Amino acid sequence: MIQVAFYDAKEYDRPAFEQYGAMHGMRFHFLETRLNADTVALAAGCDAVCVFVNDQVDAAVIDRLHGYGVKLIALRSAGYNNVDVRAAYGKVHVVHVPAYSPYAVAEHAMALLLTSVRRIHKAYNRTREFNFSLNGLTGFDFHGKTVGVIGTGKIGRIFINICRGFGMRVLAYDKYPAADSGIEYAALDRLFAESDVISLHCPLTEETRHLIDGNAIRKMKKGVVIVNTSRGALIDAEALLSGIKARHVGAACLDVYEEEADVFFEDRSGHILNDDLLSRLISMPNVIVTSHQAFLTREALGNIAETTVNNIRSYFDNDGICDNELCYRCGNIEQCRKERKERCF
Ligand code: NAI
């Protein structure tokens, strides 16, 4: 039986993983703690580790996993910026779940956007107190507005289709624009200058870290609404707060936050939050924060468990060959077009 140390396990993870794991001869050891240098020893004796977005899989952790004989790091997420894939090369293979429900994330981005622009969160609180005043609840029509979409992969394209359903004009930026997609691509500066709404759907890489900084915000339209359901560090949160305080940024919808690893996914309601920047952002009337929940639908959880179990099974049954391996042989994961009939190393 394949033994898997399952880090950062939450109540909502277990049912689907237990179900698919049992079907495929796999035993998950559910650990509430996150993977880091202090907790890596819990993986000793396991064949694989299963990790999520805030597990810290850096070079030191990878060396220890390698030392314990762990063969596989199975990410149960699409993003892999928390895994030092370069350091893993030649030691431990890394697989991920490239898609589980891009609809879940794209729909959440639109849910945040509608909530923010139409002040639904304010109205909900008011009517619960029998306050039926409309003062301060004025929004704007999406129809005819321009939405700038950065990253036109699986999620970005679904978000584009949703926006088109609202009659919005779409401008997009992608490092690797999709040919024949019917999407109007523009340089970032033009996208910043023309967009009423900007939504981020690209991965976090060295290149995209703080893609939205003070300089970028200054190029945006006054009143721009920024949506981030991708990765927190795409935005320089200090610069975003300054843009909001200067009344230049009209609203921000954030499902992710650069320092979320220390805060998100836990109930901290009885505690004093040490993150002043996050506290200040949350205190703004035009900022909505959800704690990395864009993926959280029944469909996505089922698909994540099924694909992760299939990835692990395929790796151990198939001489280490897995379609969803993050291959680093060529040194360029983003553009690697390796035929998946062989292992990365
Ligand atoms: P994808 O790989 O299908 O698309 C990413 C797109 O970004 C590609 O078209 C790629 O060419 C583009 N890209 C790469 N480098 C770029 C750059 N420097 N500038 C602009 N574009 C660049 O990925 P998918 O499935 O659409 O996911 C997008 C992101 O959404 C993931 O990287 C992940 O960080 C985030 N995500 C967030 C979730 C949440 O719960 N909040 C859940 C799932 C994904």
Q: What is the mean pLDDT of residues 290-313?
A: 96
Residue 270 has pLDDT above 80, yes or no: yes
Q: For residue 69, how far is its CA from the centre of ligand 1 (angstroms)?
A: 31
- Is 258 marked active-site? no
Position 171 confidence tier, pLDDT thresholds 50, 70, 90: very high
**Domains annotated on the chain, with CATH:** 2-100+298-317 (3.40.50.720), 102-289 (3.40.50.720)
What residue ranges line ligand 1, CB within 6 angstroms? 78-79, 99, 102, 105, 150-156, 173-176, 201-205, 207-208, 229-231, 255-256, 292, 294-295, 334
pLDDT attached to residue 332? 81
The residues that bridge with 172 in the sheet, in sequence order, are 149, 185
Look at residue 49 in the predicted model and tell me its pLDDT: 98
Which numbered atom of ligand 1 lies nearest the CA of 295? 40
pLDDT per residue as tens digits for the range 1-18? 999 999 999 999 999 999
- For the chain, give the percent of residues with pLDDT over 90: 89
- Would residue 27 show up in a list of annotated catalytic residues for this protein? no
Q: 239: alpha, beta or left, given left = phi > 0 and alpha = psi -120 to 50?
A: alpha
Amino acid at 304: I
- Which protein residue's CA is at the shortest distance from atom 43 of ligand 1? 78
Closest atom of ligand 1 to CA, residue 296: 40
**Which two tokens mark 89?**
């090369």
* Residue 340 pLDDT: 63
What was the pLDDT predicted at 48?
Answer: 98
- Let me know the angle formed at the C-alpha of 227 by 222 and 229, rounded to the nearest 5 degrees: 165
Q: Calculate mean pLDDT across residues 119-125.
A: 98
For ligand 1, atom 30, which residue shows the shortest CA distance?
A: 230
- What average pLDDT does this structure show over 167-185? 95
For 225-290, the DSSP string reads EEEE-S-GGGB-HHHHHHHHHTT-EEEEEES--TTGGGTTTS--TTS----HHHHHHHHSTTEEE-
Apex 252 CA angle, 248 and 253, nearest 5: 170
Residue 71 Cα to ligand 1 midpoint, Å, equals: 27
Which residue, by CA, sits nearest to atom 15 of ligand 1? Answer: 175
Query: 271 pLDDT exceeds 90?
Result: yes
pLDDT score of 337: 67
Query: Is 251:117 a contact under the CB 8 Å cutoff?
Result: yes
Catalytic residue flag (residue 298): no
* Structure confidence by residue, pLDDT tens digits, 33-85: 999 999 999 999 999 999 999 999 999 999 999 999 999 999 999 889 999 99
Give pLDDT, residue 279: 97
Residue 122's identity, in one-letter code, is K
Distance 136 CA to ligand 1 centre (A): 35
Is pLDDT at 331 greater than 90 in this prediction? no
Residue 330 has pLDDT above 90, yes or no: no
Q: Which atom of ligand 1 is nearest to the CA of 173?
A: 20
Smallest CA separation from ligand 1 atom 20, residue: 174
* pLDDT 10s digits, 206-248: 999 999 999 999 999 999 999 999 999 999 999 999 999 999 9
**Does residue 334 register a pLDDT over 90?**
no
Mean pLDDT over each residue of the chain, to the nearest integer: 95
